[in-house]
Amino acid sequence: MYAIIGITGNVGGAAARALLAAGKSVRGIVRDRAKAARWAEQGVELVTADVNDEATLAKTFDGAEGVFVMVPPNFAPAPDFPETRAIVAVLRRALAAARPGKVVYLSSAGAHQKSGLGLITQSHILEAEMGLLPVPNAFIRAAWFMENYQWDVGSAWERGEIDVYLDPVDRAFPMVATEDIGRLAAATLQQTWTGNRYLELEGPRRYSPLEAAEVFTKLLKRTVAVRAVPRSAWASVFEHQGTPKDRTTPRIEMLDGFNSGWIDFERAGTEPLKGLRSLEEVLAALIQKAAPVY
């Protein structure tokens, strides 16, 4: 049996699908059973808990051959990331008590760095703490999610442009589909190893924001241009999107890290891996999903 945190999300859902396809038993940890009803219909055992419920988590992890762990993303954390630190502490105690056969974690490119990460600091905290557990650990350091372009479908459709924060716009950045992350998580959970592993995953090739606009142009059959958002405007844009004024810094620091090349794969002592899904496949799926709206 394999336990999965985040089964209702893109990555956790992809991991669950791959495990079920391989004939494995899956236990999904969910906060709302109603939202996970389709998984129960597929034979998944659902357990209601959140990432702060140490006792239930420990009981849920007990007897598991493997556990997939992801910390809910926080795009507006308090200074020094107290929310993430608290969740990681709970998960660590629960895993230490249950001692599952192995644990696979969703991490990020750049998580090996100790500073200058912004929001990616949450992945650094996860790796630093969980890497001390006396179980086989595997950290999937994923590249920039291709699905981040879901926020651009509307503007591409309505005004023929996408807002871009990656710079320069013609530079190819490592990106990966969440489906590939989930598939790797499922495959890794079925492997045997000792100690800590660091799996650095990107897509079949790298893409620039300009190429993303070209793909939108092809799929929407209308010209889609790139609008590079000036860095001086980032804070006000994020505030307009709902981020509290005093909490925009981590997101800005993360973008600066990607643009400078500071947030990248470690490469030394890690396992470099390539996903299968192209950016065109991902954008086509995002557009199809949004079609009833637009």
Give me 136's structure tokens. 């086989």
Sign of CA dihedral 118, 268, 5, 61: negative
Section 195-220 average pLDDT: 98
* Strands 271-274 and 196-202, sheet pairing: parallel
What is the pLDDT, as a whole number, of residue 186?
98
What is the pLDDT, as a whole number, of residue 218?
98
Q: Between helices 121-130 and 82-98, what is the axis angle to 10°? A: 30
> From residue 45, how far is each of 1, 41, 102, 165, 189 by CA, in Å?
10, 10, 19, 41, 18
- What are the tens digits of pLDDT across the range 265-282? 999 999 999 999 999 999
Give yes or no for residue 293 having a pLDDT over 90: no
> From residue 249, how far is each of 56, 76, 235, 236, 241 by CA, in Å?
35, 9, 8, 11, 14
Q: How far apart are CA 109 and CA 202, in angstroms?
A: 9
Q: Strand 2-5's sheet: what is its strand order? A: 45-48, 26-30, 2-5, 66-69, 103-108, 137-142, 196-202, 271-274
Section 94-98 average pLDDT: 97
Query: Which residues does 231 contact at the CB level (< 8 Å), separation at least 6?
Result: 167, 252
What is the pLDDT, as a whole number, of residue 191?
98
- What are the tens digits of pLDDT across the range 110-121? 999 999 999 999
- What are the tens digits of pLDDT across the range 33-91? 999 999 999 999 999 998 999 999 999 999 999 999 999 999 999 999 999 999 999 99
Domain coverage including residue 178: 2-290
Give long-range contacts, CB 8 A cutoff, 24+ apart: 257-261.
257/110, 257/116, 257/117, 257/118, 257/120, 258/144, 258/166, 258/173, 259/166, 259/167
In percent, how much of the chain has pLDDT > 90? 97
Give yes or no for residue 243 having a pLDDT over 80: yes
- What are the tens digits of pLDDT across the range 257-266? 999 999 999 9
Q: How far apart are CA 251 and CA 77, in angstroms?
A: 10
| Amino acid found at 186 | A
Give yes or no for residue 291 having a pLDDT over 90: no
Confidence band of 227 (pLDDT split at 50, 70, 90): very high
Q: How far apart are CA 185 and CA 105, in angstroms?
A: 8
- What are the tens digits of pLDDT across the range 12-23? 999 999 999 999
Mean pLDDT of the chain: 97
Q: How far apart are CA 88 and CA 128, in angstroms?
A: 10
Provide the domain count of the chain. Answer: 1
Query: For the domain that residue 31 is a member of, what is the CATH number?
Result: 3.40.50.720
Radius of gyration for the alpha carbons in the chain, expressed in angstroms and rounded: 19
- The torsion angles phi and psi of 106, rounded to 5 degrees, stand at -85, 115
